[in-house]
Amino acid sequence: MSPIVSVEHLGKSFGGLRAVHNVSFNVEPGEVLGIIGPNGAGKTTLFNCMAGMFPPSTGTVHYQSENVTSWSDAKLARAGMVRTFQLMRPFGSMTVLENVAVAAAARGAKERDAMAQAWEILQRVGLDHYATRTSKDLPTAGLKRLELARAMALHPKVLLLDEVLAGLVPTERQPVIDLLLSIRDNGVTLLFVEHVMQAVMALSDRVLVLNHGETLAYGTPSEVVANPEVIEAYLGDEVTNVDSK
Ligand SMILES: Nc1ncnc2c1ncn2[C@@H]1O[C@H](COP(=O)(O)OP(=O)(O)OP(=O)(O)O)[C@@H](O)[C@H]1O
Ligand SMILES: [Mg+2]
Protein backbone atom coordinates (compact mmCIF):
# COMPACT_ATOMS: atom_id res chain seq x y z
CA MET A 1 0.00 0.00 0.00
CA SER A 2 1.39 3.44 -0.84
CA PRO A 3 1.30 6.08 1.88
CA ILE A 4 -1.58 8.57 1.83
CA VAL A 5 0.72 11.28 3.22
CA SER A 6 4.44 11.47 2.73
CA VAL A 7 6.59 14.21 4.23
CA GLU A 8 10.20 14.39 3.08
CA HIS A 9 12.96 16.53 4.55
CA LEU A 10 10.48 19.22 5.56
CA GLY A 11 11.92 22.40 7.01
CA LYS A 12 10.59 25.83 7.95
CA SER A 13 12.60 28.79 9.14
CA PHE A 14 11.31 32.10 10.44
CA GLY A 15 14.21 34.52 9.99
CA GLY A 16 17.06 32.84 11.83
CA LEU A 17 14.80 30.45 13.76
CA ARG A 18 14.66 26.87 12.48
CA ALA A 19 11.15 25.94 13.65
CA VAL A 20 11.12 22.64 11.71
CA HIS A 21 14.20 20.94 10.32
CA ASN A 22 14.56 17.90 8.08
CA VAL A 23 11.42 16.06 9.21
CA SER A 24 10.39 12.98 7.20
CA PHE A 25 7.64 10.41 7.74
CA ASN A 26 4.97 8.43 5.90
CA VAL A 27 1.38 7.82 6.95
CA GLU A 28 -0.50 4.80 5.62
CA PRO A 29 -4.22 5.06 4.80
CA GLY A 30 -6.23 4.52 7.98
CA GLU A 31 -3.21 4.97 10.22
CA VAL A 32 -3.23 7.24 13.28
CA LEU A 33 -0.04 9.24 13.80
CA GLY A 34 0.43 11.03 17.11
CA ILE A 35 2.85 13.97 17.17
CA ILE A 36 4.28 15.02 20.53
CA GLY A 37 7.07 17.21 21.84
CA PRO A 38 7.75 20.15 24.13
CA ASN A 39 6.19 23.59 23.63
CA GLY A 40 7.82 25.29 20.67
CA ALA A 41 9.06 21.99 19.20
CA GLY A 42 7.55 22.84 15.80
CA LYS A 43 4.42 20.69 15.86
CA THR A 44 1.97 23.40 14.77
CA THR A 45 4.46 24.72 12.21
CA LEU A 46 4.70 21.23 10.73
CA PHE A 47 0.90 21.15 10.37
CA ASN A 48 0.88 24.67 8.92
CA CYS A 49 3.35 23.60 6.23
CA MET A 50 1.50 20.36 5.50
CA ALA A 51 -1.94 21.97 5.33
CA GLY A 52 -1.00 24.84 3.02
CA MET A 53 -1.06 27.68 5.55
CA PHE A 54 2.38 28.69 4.33
CA PRO A 55 4.97 26.93 2.18
CA PRO A 56 7.85 25.06 3.82
CA SER A 57 11.38 26.44 3.37
CA THR A 58 12.64 23.02 2.31
CA GLY A 59 11.27 19.59 1.53
CA THR A 60 8.05 18.21 0.09
CA VAL A 61 4.60 17.02 1.10
CA HIS A 62 2.86 14.36 -0.97
CA TYR A 63 -0.84 13.55 -0.53
CA GLN A 64 -2.28 10.57 -2.38
CA SER A 65 1.00 10.36 -4.33
CA GLU A 66 0.64 13.95 -5.60
CA ASN A 67 3.13 16.67 -4.74
CA VAL A 68 0.94 19.17 -2.83
CA THR A 69 3.78 21.24 -1.35
CA SER A 70 2.62 24.48 -2.93
CA TRP A 71 -1.13 23.90 -2.62
CA SER A 72 -3.27 26.35 -0.65
CA ASP A 73 -5.17 25.28 2.45
CA ALA A 74 -8.47 25.62 0.57
CA LYS A 75 -7.31 23.44 -2.33
CA LEU A 76 -5.97 20.81 0.06
CA ALA A 77 -9.21 20.83 2.05
CA ARG A 78 -11.23 20.32 -1.14
CA ALA A 79 -8.98 17.36 -1.95
CA GLY A 80 -9.63 15.90 1.51
CA MET A 81 -6.73 17.02 3.68
CA VAL A 82 -8.21 19.16 6.45
CA ARG A 83 -6.70 20.64 9.61
CA THR A 84 -8.12 21.99 12.84
CA PHE A 85 -6.61 24.88 14.76
CA GLN A 86 -4.98 24.93 18.17
CA LEU A 87 -6.82 28.21 18.73
CA MET A 88 -10.39 27.66 17.59
CA ARG A 89 -11.74 30.05 14.98
CA PRO A 90 -15.53 29.65 14.70
CA PHE A 91 -17.75 32.38 13.26
CA GLY A 92 -18.80 33.76 16.66
CA SER A 93 -22.02 35.41 15.58
CA MET A 94 -23.37 32.37 13.72
CA THR A 95 -25.20 29.53 15.40
CA VAL A 96 -23.39 26.28 16.03
CA LEU A 97 -25.51 24.64 13.30
CA GLU A 98 -24.71 27.39 10.79
CA ASN A 99 -20.99 27.11 11.52
CA VAL A 100 -21.04 23.46 10.50
CA ALA A 101 -23.44 24.05 7.59
CA VAL A 102 -21.06 26.65 6.13
CA ALA A 103 -18.34 23.99 6.05
CA ALA A 104 -20.72 21.48 4.43
CA ALA A 105 -21.71 24.11 1.85
CA ALA A 106 -18.04 24.80 1.14
CA ARG A 107 -17.80 21.13 0.17
CA GLY A 108 -20.59 21.69 -2.35
CA ALA A 109 -23.78 20.83 -0.46
CA LYS A 110 -26.91 22.87 -1.29
CA GLU A 111 -28.34 24.86 1.61
CA ARG A 112 -30.94 22.34 2.77
CA ASP A 113 -28.52 19.42 2.44
CA ALA A 114 -25.82 21.40 4.22
CA MET A 115 -28.18 21.99 7.15
CA ALA A 116 -29.16 18.31 7.25
CA GLN A 117 -25.54 17.18 7.13
CA ALA A 118 -24.60 19.70 9.80
CA TRP A 119 -27.37 18.46 12.06
CA GLU A 120 -26.23 14.84 11.65
CA ILE A 121 -22.63 15.76 12.45
CA LEU A 122 -23.69 17.78 15.52
CA GLN A 123 -25.51 14.71 16.82
CA ARG A 124 -22.43 12.62 16.19
CA VAL A 125 -20.15 14.98 18.13
CA GLY A 126 -22.74 15.51 20.87
CA LEU A 127 -23.40 19.19 20.16
CA ASP A 128 -27.00 18.93 18.95
CA HIS A 129 -28.28 20.53 22.16
CA TYR A 130 -26.28 23.64 21.28
CA ALA A 131 -27.34 23.74 17.61
CA THR A 132 -29.25 27.02 17.80
CA ARG A 133 -26.90 28.81 20.21
CA THR A 134 -24.32 31.22 18.87
CA SER A 135 -20.90 29.63 18.84
CA LYS A 136 -19.38 32.31 21.03
CA ASP A 137 -21.58 30.98 23.88
CA LEU A 138 -19.89 27.58 23.78
CA PRO A 139 -17.58 26.49 26.60
CA THR A 140 -14.09 25.24 25.64
CA ALA A 141 -15.18 21.61 25.38
CA GLY A 142 -17.99 22.65 23.02
CA LEU A 143 -15.68 24.78 20.89
CA LYS A 144 -13.34 21.82 20.50
CA ARG A 145 -16.23 19.66 19.35
CA LEU A 146 -17.40 22.40 16.99
CA GLU A 147 -13.91 22.60 15.48
CA LEU A 148 -14.05 18.84 14.90
CA ALA A 149 -17.59 19.03 13.51
CA ARG A 150 -16.58 21.71 11.00
CA ALA A 151 -13.63 19.60 9.89
CA MET A 152 -15.87 16.52 9.55
CA ALA A 153 -18.32 18.49 7.39
CA LEU A 154 -15.54 18.83 4.81
CA HIS A 155 -15.53 15.01 4.40
CA PRO A 156 -11.81 14.65 5.07
CA LYS A 157 -9.71 11.68 4.06
CA VAL A 158 -6.89 12.99 6.22
CA LEU A 159 -7.50 15.05 9.35
CA LEU A 160 -4.75 17.06 11.02
CA LEU A 161 -5.84 17.77 14.59
CA ASP A 162 -3.92 20.34 16.64
CA GLU A 163 -4.50 19.79 20.36
CA VAL A 164 -8.20 18.94 20.28
CA LEU A 165 -8.00 17.85 23.93
CA ALA A 166 -6.22 20.93 25.28
CA GLY A 167 -8.25 22.78 27.88
CA LEU A 168 -10.57 19.84 28.53
CA VAL A 169 -10.83 18.49 32.06
CA PRO A 170 -10.01 14.75 32.31
CA THR A 171 -13.69 13.69 32.38
CA GLU A 172 -14.28 15.53 29.08
CA ARG A 173 -11.40 13.78 27.32
CA GLN A 174 -12.59 10.19 26.91
CA PRO A 175 -15.71 11.09 24.87
CA VAL A 176 -13.51 13.04 22.43
CA ILE A 177 -11.02 10.15 22.25
CA ASP A 178 -13.96 7.82 21.50
CA LEU A 179 -15.18 10.23 18.83
CA LEU A 180 -11.73 10.27 17.19
CA LEU A 181 -11.67 6.46 17.26
CA SER A 182 -15.05 6.39 15.51
CA ILE A 183 -13.80 8.87 12.88
CA ARG A 184 -10.80 6.58 12.35
CA ASP A 185 -13.12 3.57 12.10
CA ASN A 186 -14.90 5.37 9.26
CA GLY A 187 -11.64 5.26 7.31
CA VAL A 188 -10.24 8.72 8.02
CA THR A 189 -6.46 8.90 8.44
CA LEU A 190 -5.60 10.93 11.54
CA LEU A 191 -2.54 12.97 12.38
CA PHE A 192 -2.84 14.63 15.74
CA VAL A 193 -0.69 16.89 17.86
CA GLU A 194 -1.37 16.31 21.53
CA HIS A 195 0.10 16.83 24.98
CA VAL A 196 -2.42 14.54 26.69
CA MET A 197 -0.50 11.26 26.78
CA GLN A 198 -3.65 9.28 27.64
CA ALA A 199 -4.91 10.16 24.15
CA VAL A 200 -1.57 9.59 22.45
CA MET A 201 -1.36 6.10 23.93
CA ALA A 202 -5.01 5.26 23.20
CA LEU A 203 -5.10 6.50 19.62
CA SER A 204 -1.71 6.30 17.95
CA ASP A 205 -0.44 3.51 15.75
CA ARG A 206 2.85 5.37 15.59
CA VAL A 207 4.22 8.43 17.33
CA LEU A 208 6.54 11.13 16.00
CA VAL A 209 8.44 13.04 18.67
CA LEU A 210 9.70 16.50 17.73
CA ASN A 211 12.25 18.46 19.73
CA HIS A 212 13.73 21.80 18.62
CA GLY A 213 12.10 21.23 15.23
CA GLU A 214 13.82 17.91 14.63
CA THR A 215 12.70 14.29 14.84
CA LEU A 216 13.79 12.92 18.18
CA ALA A 217 12.00 9.58 17.87
CA TYR A 218 9.49 7.82 15.61
CA GLY A 219 7.94 4.50 16.54
CA THR A 220 5.09 2.73 18.29
CA PRO A 221 3.64 4.41 21.40
CA SER A 222 5.30 1.87 23.71
CA GLU A 223 8.64 2.34 21.93
CA VAL A 224 8.65 6.12 22.25
CA VAL A 225 7.57 6.25 25.91
CA ALA A 226 10.41 3.84 26.75
CA ASN A 227 12.99 5.89 24.78
CA PRO A 228 15.40 7.55 27.24
CA GLU A 229 15.90 10.60 24.98
CA VAL A 230 12.13 11.17 24.81
CA ILE A 231 11.85 10.84 28.58
CA GLU A 232 14.70 13.31 29.02
CA ALA A 233 13.39 15.88 26.51
CA TYR A 234 9.67 15.69 27.08
CA LEU A 235 8.05 13.09 29.26
CA GLY A 236 10.20 13.47 32.36
CA ASP A 237 8.60 11.97 35.42
CA GLU A 238 5.33 11.59 33.57
CA VAL A 239 6.46 8.37 31.93
CA THR A 240 5.67 6.48 35.09
CA ASN A 241 2.19 7.96 35.08
CA VAL A 242 1.25 8.77 31.50
CA ASP A 243 -2.42 9.07 32.42
CA SER A 244 -1.81 12.28 34.26
CA LYS A 245 -0.17 14.18 31.41
N1 LIG B 1 4.49 32.52 12.19
C2 LIG B 1 5.60 32.47 12.95
N3 LIG B 1 6.52 33.43 12.89
C4 LIG B 1 7.66 33.36 13.62
N5 LIG B 1 7.96 32.35 14.47
C6 LIG B 1 7.06 31.35 14.57
C7 LIG B 1 5.83 31.35 13.81
N8 LIG B 1 5.14 30.22 14.13
C9 LIG B 1 5.89 29.56 15.02
N10 LIG B 1 7.03 30.23 15.30
C11 LIG B 1 8.10 29.77 16.19
O12 LIG B 1 8.48 28.48 15.76
C13 LIG B 1 8.75 27.63 16.87
C14 LIG B 1 7.83 26.43 16.83
O15 LIG B 1 6.51 26.86 17.14
P16 LIG B 1 5.25 25.92 17.04
O17 LIG B 1 4.04 26.76 17.29
O18 LIG B 1 5.30 25.16 15.76
O19 LIG B 1 5.50 24.94 18.26
P20 LIG B 1 4.55 23.82 18.88
O21 LIG B 1 5.35 22.56 18.92
O22 LIG B 1 3.26 23.79 18.16
O23 LIG B 1 4.37 24.35 20.38
P24 LIG B 1 3.09 24.24 21.38
O25 LIG B 1 3.17 22.87 21.99
O26 LIG B 1 3.37 25.31 22.39
O27 LIG B 1 1.84 24.49 20.60
C28 LIG B 1 8.56 28.51 18.12
O29 LIG B 1 9.82 29.00 18.51
C30 LIG B 1 7.65 29.62 17.63
O31 LIG B 1 7.85 30.79 18.37
MG1 LIG C 1 1.32 24.14 18.70
Per-residue pLDDT of the chain (245 residues; tens, 9 = 90+): 799 999 999 999 999 999 999 999 999 999 999 999 999 999 999 999 999 999 999 999 999 999 999 999 989 999 999 998 766 667 778 999 999 999 999 888 898 999 999 999 999 999 999 999 998 888 888 988 999 999 999 999 999 999 999 888 989 899 899 999 999 999 999 999 999 998 999 999 999 999 999 999 999 999 999 999 999 988 885 544 444 44
Q: Is the CB of 20 under 6 A from ligand 1?
A: no
Angle formed by the axes of helices 140-153 and 96-106, nearest 10°: 20
> Which residue minimizes the CA distance to atom 19 of ligand 1?
40
Query: What ligand 1 atom has the least distance to the C-alpha of 41?
Result: 21
Using the Cα atoms of residue 121, residue 123, residue 125 and residue 131 in order, give the sign of their dihedral. Answer: positive
16: phi then psi, degrees, rounded to nearest 5: -85, -5
What structural domains does the chain harbor? 5-89+156-244 (3.40.50.300)
- 8 A C-beta contact, residue 12 and residue 57: yes
> Which residue minimizes the CA distance to atom 7 of ligand 1?
14
> Which residue minimizes the CA distance to atom 26 of ligand 1?
39
